[in-house]
A and B are shown apart, each in its own frame.
Chain A
Amino acid sequence: SQTIHQWPATLVQPVGSPLSLECTVEGTSNPNLYWYRQAAGRGLQLLFYSVGIGQISSEVPQNLSASRPQDRQFILSSKKLLLSDSGFYLCAWAAGTTEAFFGQGTRLTVV
């Protein structure tokens, strides 16, 4: 069966520090991968998606970047965090129009 792992679950980082959130998927090949952010009291905003290794599409210009070094690995990064980067980050995978499967999320607090 397919599973998705996302870590860490919580993270507190100072302003200006780097960020690396990792997501891996098991049990499927060539998944579509997504990073979403959920700010307090708001819905989910799509940040990046990827349809294959090295293929990244950005939906919102911002302080973050994403990479897909392997078929089932998706990384969200930042060189210097801002206070506004705080939020709940969710990784997801999907195959075509089937439902998306989500990781448990990372609660990022930038202080």
Chain B
Amino acid sequence: AQSVTQLDSHVSVSEGTPVLLRCNYSSSYSPSLFWYVQHPNKGLQLLLKYTSAATLVKGINGFEAEFKKSETSFHLTKPSAHMSDAAEYFCVVSDRTGGSYIPTFGRGTSLIVHP
């Protein structure tokens, strides 16, 4: 069985400071891992994905994440936060569960950016 734990329900940063959103996963197989962003009342947009290639993954809008198998982590980072980064972020794991691939979501982390 697979699962995802997003360690913080809310993260608050000042504009221009680094962002760290933490994610730990559990998977029986070699998983694919993703980060999505959701702005209020909008659908989900893919930020980046890890699918067993390079462990450091670069995404859109300056975000990146590092896959660490020994720590079962896939934390999302950005060097400098912008006001437009304020949104809900979801970490997602997908592997073969019961013969089908099921994207499993974390509970989400709300990123708050202060001016």
Contacts and interface: CB of A to CB of B under 8 A. Distances in A.
B29 to A, nearest CB: 9
B95 A46 contact: no
Interface size class of B (residues with CB under 8 A): 20 to 34
A98 B106 CA distance: 18
A72 to B, nearest CB: 17
B41 interface: yes
B106 to A, nearest CB: 6
B97 to A, nearest CB: 10
Contacts of A46: 102-105
B43 A102 contact: yes
Interface string B72-115: 00000000000000000010101110001111111110000000
A46 B96 CA distance: 15
